[in-house]
Each structure stands twice: as C-alpha cells, then as structure tokens.
Amino acid sequence: MAGSASSRLTIKPSPQQGPRPQLELSTKVRPGGQRPLSEVELDEDEVLIDGFDATLAGEVVRITAVLERTCVYVDRGGDRRLARKEELLVEANKLPIRRRGPT
C-alpha cells in the first residue's frame, strides 16, 4: 500500500571543508558592569562564543547560541527560546570572546 511504510530520514555528514580557523582568547579590555548584550562591541576578528549566562527580565538564563540580533537561551523548564540582544544583560568583561587566529 502506498503511504503505509514508515518514513525514514537519513542525515549524512557533510564533507570536510578543511580545517576550522583557530580561536584565541581576546585580549581586549572591556569595562565591567551589566549592560545589554547589544551594546557590547566586537572587533571584526572577534567572535562571541555561546555558552554563557545573561540576565533576562531579572532571571539568569543560559545562552546556548548567538545570532545576529537575537540569542537562543534555555528557560527554567529546559525549553529553548529566543531573546533580543537588547533584552539580555551581561557583564562584558566576563563574556567568552575569542579572536580568530591565522588560518
């Protein structure tokens, strides 16, 4: 019968694109104190690595992914949600910022 077989999804690994660029800890000094994540300026060769805490509406949340204008965080129930960078308060001098090294 058509449509009675179970559907299967196969995920194939993508081919290697070459070595990933090395990331080094940024040495740029940033001021302390809480500020919106949207106000933290990164140099062109700097990357904000996910996996840090931020405050959202008075509650500490874990950031798991950083996008252009938003971030993915995990709420108390374990669900992933989106928040705008303007809503997330962070300590700029404690963020996991890395600098792209030579490739």
Contacts of 8 (CB under 8 A, 6+ apart): none
What integer best gives the mean pLDDT of the chain?
81
What's residue 5's pLDDT? 52
**pTM value > 0.95:** no
| Choice between 13 and 83, residue whose per-residue pLDDT is larger | 83
Residue with tokens 């928040």: 83
What's residue 28's pLDDT? 74
In tens, the pLDDT along 14-59 reads: 555 555 556 666 667 777 889 999 999 888 888 888 789 999 999 9
Is the predicted pLDDT of residue 88 greater than 90, yes or no? yes
C-beta of residue 58 within 8 angstroms of C-beta of residue 11 = no
Domain ranges, ordered by start, for the chain: 23-100
Rounded to 5 degrees, what are φ and ψ at 85? -60, -30
Closest CA to 92 of 38, 44, 56: 38
